[in-house]
Chains A and B, each alone.
Chain A
């Protein structure tokens, strides 16, 4: 780099750029928080859905599945599982694990109660109604 461009100029670009773009990120974040109520389906965030999210977390579901495309890529996307499979299938599936089919990927059984299964279904119903800009591309996730 040419000598006309000094180290202190470079340093100033670093500090100035970092501060400016961090403030821009904060400004965009404020705007995003203002727009979220129209998109994030918070009106349906019931006690049961909140319990469902807690079950989702404490069973480490994200360790195999994706949710809105984030997580592990070992098992199906679940943001839209409510629309893909419906409530009864979801409950039966969770209860029926592991399949024990030789050589196939296995999901543990988490011994969820009937109420907890309902919480999971309600959680997935809530996630399926979040405005995700039409993602995933199709029902298969």
Chain B
């Protein structure tokens, strides 16, 4: 750590991990409700648990991205952050808004929450992932703009590198596309069409820029490979991400009332979307193979390699699995979608944030790397979480195939609930795998509290 102001990243990362734990606990509640339908009803109905689960994911990943930006941008720009005080103020505002929103979901009926928060003035609530009340949405915009001002000023007056420019472009894109969350036309087709301009253009667009910048930053640090090489890779990867991903939006437009030519545009371009993710895998491994130093933080290197592989599997392979229109006709809105969502978010965004945390936290705590024991525990948590998420994905995929067969393909199609009963076994196995994931996460958190002499490069 070269600049004192990089320390503002620390509370962001701590909040991210805390909310991550909350996300997983609510995931387990939902997983159980899939098989024990009345579990916690009416205290926490499934829809409430799901809002908490998905919104916590979004909020903690945003905390992770912001923390990463506050850490890497000063270091890349070679100057202190423009205003550490503003960054800390935004931290508390974002945390308060996030916690208040989650408590609102849990304690107040959603319709009442909508009434209290001005949803009748400007109706934006009740759409998947964009369930936040209006004040929260405005808060997200304010926090994002204050952060962008802070970071842009830092970069403008400092060194401009590919990494900090790409990070900045990604974060600006994140803020700009979020503005579509305020557009909610009465026409359901238009509503859905532009809803994807937030959701798809985030996760299959600008977030990939943020991910690429974070991964490139850590790889430079832990491998010592020449910046020119790494930044060239970064540009090629994100170029492919946007070239395929922008028109790839079309894979969401097959069955929502949009013209049918989207079946061609969406299929062709989204079939290419695995390419940037595959390049990320190759990128991570070839940089580590060509390393010019042995970094003492082996756990961070493991996370960096892991995110390369798992992002390709989750976003690339599991995305391709159901992206072609003739396949998607049957898989759309089934457990296949859920399987892909879990592995893609974990492999790409969860793991890249943890990569960044794993690399920076020891530095912010005054050492190059954690003790060997702490690293061993962290690497165990890597394997527990990664393998169990792989199994969650496989069980959901099995459930999805069976569900599609029973409900949509067989000669005597079953009703939705009848088909759900038939696949319950896979839901149980998914829940057990989820418990393993939780144990991995608890182990991960415990690794921060393991003391001992810092590891050195051997």
Q: Do A and B come from one complex?
A: yes
Q: How far is the CA of A24 from the CA of B261 in the complex (A)?
A: 14
B162 touches A74 (CB 8 A): no
Cβ of B118 < 8 Å from any Cβ of A? no
Assuming A25-B247, A77-B416, A135-B254, what are 14 further A-B pairs, CB within 8 angstroms? A17-B239, A22-B246, A32-B262, A39-B257, A60-B47, A63-B50, A67-B188, A68-B192, A70-B256, A73-B337, A108-B42, A130-B188, A136-B332, A137-B329
Tier of interface size on chain A: 35 or more
Closest to A54 in B: B123
Min Cβ gap B259→A in Å is: 5
| Option from B126, B186, B254 in Cβ contact (under 8 Å) with A60 | B126
Residues of A within 8 A of B51 (CB): 60, 63
Q: How far is the CA of A98 from the CA of B333 in the complex (A)?
A: 24
Contact residue among A45, A62, A69, A102 (Cβ-Cβ distance under 8 Å from B187) = A45
Which among B127, B162, B232 is the interface contact of A6 at CB below 8 angstroms? B232
Whether the Cβ atoms of A1 and B232 lie closer than 8 Å is yes
Contact, CB under 8 Å: B236 / A57: no
Enumerate chain B residues within 8 angstroms of A140, measured Cβ to Cβ. 407-408, 413-416, 419
The digit string for B251-267, where 1 denotes a CB below 8 A from any CB of A, is 00111111110110100
Q: Are B41 and A45 in contact (CB under 8 A)?
A: no
**Hey, which bits of chain A sit against chain B, CB under 8 A?**
1, 5-7, 10-11, 13-14, 17-18, 21-22, 24-25, 28-29, 31-33, 35-36, 39-42, 45, 49-50, 53-54, 56-64, 66-77, 98, 100-108, 110, 126-127, 130-133, 135-141
Q: In the bound complex, do residue A74 and residue B34 qualify as a contact, i.e. CB atoms below 8 Å apart? A: yes
**B34 and A63 within 8 A (CB):** no
24 contacts between A and B (CB under 8 A): A7-B162, A18-B242, A28-B265, A35-B259, A54-B123, A57-B125, A58-B110, A60-B47, A62-B126, A67-B188, A74-B30, A75-B46, A76-B415, A76-B416, A98-B42, A101-B38, A104-B37, A105-B38, A108-B42, A108-B45, A110-B111, A136-B333, A136-B408, A138-B413
Contact of B46 among A17, A74, A110 (CB under 8 A): A74
Q: Which of A5, A70, A137 has the most CB of B within 10 A?
A: A70
CB neighbours of B250 from chain A (8 A): 28
Q: A58-B114, A75-B416 are in contact. Are A135 and B162 (CB under 8 A)?
A: no
Count of inter-chain pairs, beta carbons less than 8 A:
224
Q: Which residue of chain B is the closest to A102 with respect to CB atoms?
A: B38
Chain B residue, CB-CB nearest to A141 = B416
When the two chains form the complex, which single residue of B33, B127, B233, B332 contacts A135, counting CB atoms closer than 8 Å? B332
> Among the listed A11, A36, A62, A137, which residue makes an inter-chain contact with B235, where contact means beta carbons less than 8 Å apart?
A11
In this complex, what residue of A is CB-closest to B418? A140
Contact with A along B23-53 (1 / 0, CB 8 A): 0000000100110111001100111101100
List which B399-458 residues lie within 8 A (CB) of chain A: 407-409, 413-417, 419-420
State whether A73 and B334 are in contact (beta carbons under 8 Å apart), knowing that A40-B188, A58-B111 are contacts in the complex.
yes
Q: Is the CB of B187 within 8 A of A63?
A: no
The reply to whether B247 and A69 form a contact with Cβ atoms under 8 Å apart is no
Determine whether B243 belongs to the interface, using a CB cutoff of 8 Å to chain A: yes
Query: Lowest 4 CB-CB distances: which A-B pairs, in order?
Result: A63-B47, A57-B126, A69-B333, A105-B37
Please, how many angstroms separate the alpha-carbon atoms of A70 and B48 in the complex? 17
B138 at the interface (CB under 8 A from A): no
Knowing A11-B235, A72-B47, A130-B189, say if A17 contacts B242 (CB, 8 Å).
yes
In the complex, the answer to whether A7 meets B257 with C-beta atoms within 8 Å is no
Q: Which B residues are CB-close (under 8 A) to A56?
A: 126
B384 at the interface (CB under 8 A from A): no
Task: Determine if A10 and B243 form an interchain contact, defined as CB atoms under 8 angstroms apart.
Answer: no
A32-B258 in contact (CB<8A): yes
Measured between alpha carbons, how far is A57 from B125 in the docked complex, in Å? 6
Complex interface bits, B219-242 against A, C-beta within 8 A gives 1, otherwise 0: 000000000110111011011001
Given the interface contacts A5-B232, A73-B334, A108-B45, does A36 sit within 8 Å of B242 by beta carbon?
no
Residues B246 and A21 in contact, CB atoms below 8 Å apart: yes
Q: Which of A61, A77, A107, A137 contacts B330 (CB 8 A)?
A: A137
What is the bound-complex CA distance between A40 and B186, given in angstroms? 11
